[in-house]
Structure formats: C-alpha cells, structure tokens
Structure 1
Amino acid sequence: MSAGAAMTGLPINHSINRRTLLASTAAAVLVGLTPAHARFLSGEVPWAPGAATPPEPATPGGWLFFTPDEARAVEAIVERLIPADELSPSGKDAGCAVFIDRQLAGPYGAAERLYMKPPFATNAAPEFGPQSPLSPAQQYRAGLKALDAWCKANRGGKSFADLSPTERDTVLTAMEKGEAKFEGFGARPLFNLVLQNTMEGFFADPLYGGNRDMVGWKLIGFPGARYDYRDFIDHVTDPYPLPPVGLQGRAGWTPGR
C-alpha cells in the first residue's frame, strides 16, 4: 500500500486520482454556494426586481406633512432662496416645497436612517452629522412655529408669508447670520435646514416632487438618468444635445432620444 493510500485509508486500487479529486472538490464547492451564487453560475439574474428599496413617486395633490400655514411659509421661503429669473422659475414654482413636504412625511422626516442617540455635541464638525434630539420633521414644526412668532412680534403682526419680497429677504438674512433670535428653535439652524432641502428639491429627480419639468437639470445641463452615453463618449467637449430624462422618463420620451 502506498503512503497516500494508507493516509486515506483506501486500498491501493481505490486510491483517488487527480480527475476524481478535482471533480469531488468542484461538487463540494457547488454544494456550499448560496442560491444567489448558484443562479449566477447558471446564467440567471442573482437578485429579484424590487428586492432593494426602490424610489417611491411623490404622492400628487395636497400637503402630507405641512399645515396650510406652514406650507405658505415654506413656499415663501423657497421662493426667495431661489427667486425666479431669466434662467429658471423660482424654488416654489419648481416644486421645492412639495419635495420638502413629501420628505418630511416619509423616512427622512422621522429620522429613520439617522443616528439619534445622545450625547449631542454643541460644536461638532459637520462630518459628525446633525446634533439634535429632534427629527427633521420635529425641527421643521418647531422652527416654523418660532419663525411665525418672531415675525409677528417684529414685523407688525405679519406672518412671514405676508411680508413683501424685500422684507422676506431681510428676515432670511437675519436668520442666516444668527441675528434673529427665535424662541424654541434656532433661526440659523432652521435657515440652514430649509436651504439644504431646497437645493435638494431643486436638483433631485422629479420623481420626488421637486425639479418640475427638470428645470434644475436643464439649468446646469445635467442629462438625468439616461442609461447609455456611448454615442457621446468621444465628444466630451461638446454640449450634450439631448434633453434630460428622469427615472420615470419624460413626456414624449422614447429610448435613445
């Protein structure tokens, strides 16, 4: 009996040759594969459509989170943060307030994907994320209430939405600089939060309620969610000639156009 046969405990005429060894090893590997790996090797797609978290289109019509007074205030804010000009409509007309409303009514508003455990640092660097026990929805509710109270106390009993465009700009500037002192929620944190969400709404996919008619994308020449750029790879210095396409397509869109 050979040493190899003795180590395996097999008679010499049943010793494992190379072909048998490789075949048995391959079989063992296949048995140990996950279903996804097995489907991949068999040529099948190793995942199911919609198994991830697909984007959900914004619900049309009405307000899902804001009260009517809150909605008026937010529309007035976004209209001044992105005023209409010869290049684009205002943030209000682009749907930024609708975008914010739908976000606050969903997982973002409830801070479902944010770490919300204390302690909260008072002077933390931006990379540490929000330092507040309040969810975004709670911050908006408290902040808009504080804004309304401050305006009525300092602007002749008027709410923010009732101010003239010039007066609104003055209030927003005071909020940005921290000169306006709100009760219950800081003026500067509210300004920064609404500004960030307004920019997101202006440039996000129209699926989420903002960027109506893809005005933000048209402004910067962004092509959107097109799946194929092979015809333009060698023309990087030329303006992109096709209109943008969203995740849900666009009116009059056909693949390749």
Structure 2
Amino acid sequence: MKRRQALLTIGAVVAAPVAKVVADELNAYPHDMALDPAFLPSPVHSGQAWRVLTDPADRTTLAAVFDRLIPSDDLGPSASQAGALEFLDAQLWGPFGKGATQYKTGPKAPGEDALMQKPQFIATPRERYATGIQALNTYAKRAHGALFAALPDATQDQILAGMEDGTIQLSREVNTKAFFELLLMNVRESYFADPMYGGNRDMVGWKMIGFPGARYDYRLYADRTGQALNLTPVSLIPKD
C-alpha cells in the first residue's frame, strides 16, 4: 500500500465515528435554544415603502439636516444620497425606534437628568423624532420665516450649531441639544453601517475610509497594521 493511500484509509477510519457523534449531537440539540428569527437582521431594500417617515415634508426636513451634517463633496455623496433616510426609517420601525431597551415608565423626578449625567427619556426615539422635526420647523419659520429645508445653507448651519452648543432651544417639549446628538449619532451610523441596513449605499462610507467590510477572515492581514490593504469592501447582503 502506498503512503498516500494509507493516510487516506486511516483518515476515513478516524473520521467515521466522529461524524456519527457530531450527527447525534446535532439531532439532539435543545430546541428551546434555537435562534429566534426576530433577532436576525432583515435587509432594507431600496424603494420599499416608508413605514415611519411617511410624511414627505418630514423626509425633506431630515434630508436637509443630514446633508448639512454629511454633505456631498469630492470624497463621496451626501448622507441622504447614501441612504440615510432609508436607514433611519428602518431603525425607527424596529426595536430602536420603539425604545425596546428603555425603561419608559414614569414618574420622572425633577433634576434626574443632571443626576444621571445625561438625559433620560421616557419618550421613544420614534416619538422624539416626531416632536423634534415639528419643533425644528416651527423654530425655523418663527426665527427665519421659512421651513428649515428652505433656508440657505449658512442659516441651516447656524441653527444646527446653536442646537449643538445649547444656545438654541427649539421648544419646551424638546431637549434640543439631546435631539441634535440623536440626529448626529444616527446619520453617522447610516453612513458607516453595513449596507444591508439601508444606508452606506454602494459601501461609499467604507470605501472612503478604506474599511474592507464584513470579511470572514483577516488572518492574512494581521501583520499589516496601519497599512492600506486596498481590499474591495464586502457587505453582509447575500449575493445571488
């Protein structure tokens, strides 16, 4: 018997009982530990119906805000061009928008925000967006005579800067600085999250920063810290 044949024969003998054990274990796994389909990500498809941002006027306002935070330039498209609204609509429709991880039951003690070092909200992100967009347009019309999206870029920047540093208060019902932080956080997420969530269309955010994406294995590049890998980004979206 040749050496290669011997090795193959030994491998077959060893592998047989192992395969049987694995098969038995797979057939007998505890079914109450199966992955809940609700926790599997659902790809956001371009052109699908709006589920939360159903008002075109609200989408126009948000697009104007997001495109001032991440404008179009020679590095890439603007936030809305890269799918920021589709990303946000999906997030507000899901557990994040419903405040699934929040404790939403009152009462809320006076001064509690200062005690916790950051605002605590009973309102869900979906509710905060609804009241925040309305308050932003009300303020813009009162202070500058037009809805936010119709204002010049410089005026929009002035309002957003005031929201960020706390010098502008949109209304008594809205924590303006916290609302700005929510807008900024979500638009950043939209630009750099996996495209399956609706944003980062064509992986423009990843291409801009040189991120290779959701690759299975990086061991070949573990010793190339700080070097440009020049790899084409890969998304979690299944290929046909």
Q: TM-score range by the shorter chain?
A: 0.7 to 0.9
Instruction: Map 1:68-87 onto structure 2 (within 5 A).
Output: 68-87=56-75
Partner of 1:125: 117
CA distance in 2, matches of 1:70, 1:54: 29
CA distance in 1, matches of 2:87, 2:225: 32
2:26 matches 1:44: yes
2:205 matches 1:219: no
1:182 aligned residue (137, 151, 170): 170
Query: Structure 2 length normalisation: TM-score?
Result: 0.78
What is the DSSP-based 3-state SS (H/G/I as helix, E as strand, rest coil) of the residue aligned with 2:113?
coil
Partner of 2:144: 155
Larger Rg: 1
Partner of 1:53: 39
Which has more helix, going by share of residues?
A: 2
RMSD of Structure 2 on Structure 1 (CA):
2.4
2:50 matches 1:63: yes
Divergent runs of 4+, >4 A: 45-52
CA distance in 2, matches of 1:108, 1:214: 23
What is the DSSP-based 3-state SS (H/G/I as helix, E as strand, rest coil) of the residue aligned with 1:180?
coil
CA shift at 1:101, angstroms? 1.5
Code of the residue aligned with 2:43 in structure 1: it is P
2:82 matches 1:94: yes
Question: Greater shift after overlay, 135-144 or 96-105?
Answer: 96-105
Code of the residue aligned with 1:108 in structure 2: it is F
What is the DSSP-based 3-state SS (H/G/I as helix, E as strand, rest coil) of the residue aligned with 1:222?
coil
User: Do 1:175 and 1:187's aligned partners in 2 also have CA atoms closer than 8 Å?
Assistant: yes
* Cα shift readout 1:53-94 (whole Å, capped 9, x = no counterpart): 110111432432121111000000000001122212111111
2:199 aligned residue (199, 204, 210): 210
CA distance in 2, matches of 1:232, 1:246: 19
How many residues of Structure 1 are paired with residues of Structure 2 in the alignment? 209
CA shift at 1:151, angstroms? 0.6
CA distance in 1, matches of 2:239, 2:77: 19
Identity of aligned residues (%): 38
1:198 aligned residue (149, 173, 187): 187
User: Do 1:147 and 1:187's aligned partners in 2 also have CA atoms closer than 8 Å?
Assistant: no
What is the DSSP-based 3-state SS (H/G/I as helix, E as strand, rest coil) of the residue aligned with 2:67?
helix
Partner of 2:232: 243
Question: Greater shift after overlay, 49-58 or 139-148?
Answer: 49-58
CA distance in 2, matches of 1:228, 1:88: 28
CA distance in 2, matches of 1:50, 1:215: 32
Partner of 2:97: 109
CA distance in 1, matches of 2:152, 2:103: 39
If asked which structure has higher relative contact order (CA below 8 Å, sep 6+), I would say: 2
User: Do 1:217 and 1:224's aligned partners in 2 also have CA atoms closer than 8 Å?
Assistant: yes
Cα pair distance change 1:234/1:188, threshold 3 Å: closer
What is the DSSP-based 3-state SS (H/G/I as helix, E as strand, rest coil) of the residue aligned with 2:26?
coil
Question: Greater shift after overlay, 233-242 or 93-102?
Answer: 233-242
User: Do 2:102 and 2:122's aligned partners in 1 also have CA atoms closer than 8 Å?
Assistant: no
CA distance in 2, matches of 1:237, 1:170: 37
Unpaired runs of 5+ residues, structure 2, are 1-20
Question: Greater shift after overlay, 187-196 or 71-80?
Answer: 187-196
Cα pair distance change 1:203/1:237, threshold 3 Å: closer
Code of the residue aligned with 1:114 in structure 2: it is Q
